[in-house]
Amino acid sequence: MPETPLSSEETPRIREMTIDDFPEVFHIGEEVFTAEYSQSLYRTWDEFEITTLFNSDTELCLVAEAGERILGFALGTTVKKHNSPWKYGYLVWLGVRSDIQKGRVGSRLFNEIRRRMQEQGVRMIIIDTSADNKPAIRFFQKQGFNDIQEHVYMSLNLTRKSKKKGVKKP
Ligand SMILES: CC(C)(COP(=O)(O)OP(=O)(O)OC[C@H]1O[C@@H](n2cnc3c(N)ncnc32)[C@H](O)[C@@H]1OP(=O)(O)O)[C@@H](O)C(=O)NCCC(=O)NCCS
């Protein structure tokens, strides 16, 4: 499998994110995690995503860089479930600039975050994305993910009048 279609001077370097990277990471996220990316409010990209994960899991906040340019990022965390001896890695956000997607940057970011998670004792990595995000599903399958589980989101609009019928008094 060819490792990089980018020219040798553009070969991305994967390193830990620093505070100076925040604006660029934020803008790449704005570019790739659009409203079409996720209709659900549960997954919305905002500046708190970066700061919260950076503060809790600096070692799992990575960027891919070529020259002075940030090409993409991987932001993750680890989770310990109650009643389970296993430690889980949660890859929360993985994003690559639209103009260089399919150029192996995502794979490089994933390989490094996976290595770091394993080093931290993670036994299973989990991700989530919209069911219609076929490119990402294909990408994660290529990385070895399987056992797709569908999840249902429901909403209740509180600004609409309730249609619930009142119980008639006898
Ligand atoms: C998903 C994403 C991170 C992949 O990064 P990437 O650098 O484009 O992916 P790679 O070049 O490393 O791709 C590796 C493999 O994934 C699959 N893949 C990647 N992009 C794909 C696409 N658009 N369509 C189909 N398969 C794709 C391919 O199998 C590819 O291997 P191949 O080139 O040998 O066929 C990137 O497309 C992205 O930022 N998408 C928008 C944000 C997103 O959906 N993030 C994931 C959820 S948080």
Ligand 1 centre to CA of 53 (Å) is 22
Q: In the prediction, which pLDDT does 37 show?
A: 65
Q: Of ligand 1's atoms, which has the minimum distance to the CA of residue 103?
A: 11
- DSSP codes joined into one string, 58-123: GGGEEEEEETTEEEEEEEEEEEE-TT---EEEEEEEEEE-GGGTTSSHHHHHHHHHHHHHHHTT--
Q: Is 103 in the pocket of ligand 1 (CB under 6 A)?
A: yes
CATH number of 8-142: 3.40.630.30
Instruction: Please write the tens of the pLDDT for every residue from 86-109.
Output: 999 999 999 999 999 999 999 999
Instruction: Please write the tens of the pLDDT for every residue from 124-160.
Output: 999 998 888 899 999 999 999 998 998 888 888 899 8
Q: Is 95 in the pocket of ligand 1 (CB under 6 A)?
A: yes
Q: Is 105 in the pocket of ligand 1 (CB under 6 A)?
A: yes
Most confident region among 1-5, 113-117, 146-150 by mean pLDDT: 113-117
Ligand 1 centre to CA of 102 (Å) is 5
Q: Is 93 in the pocket of ligand 1 (CB under 6 A)?
A: yes
29 has a pLDDT exceeding 50: yes
Q: Is 96 in the pocket of ligand 1 (CB under 6 A)?
A: yes
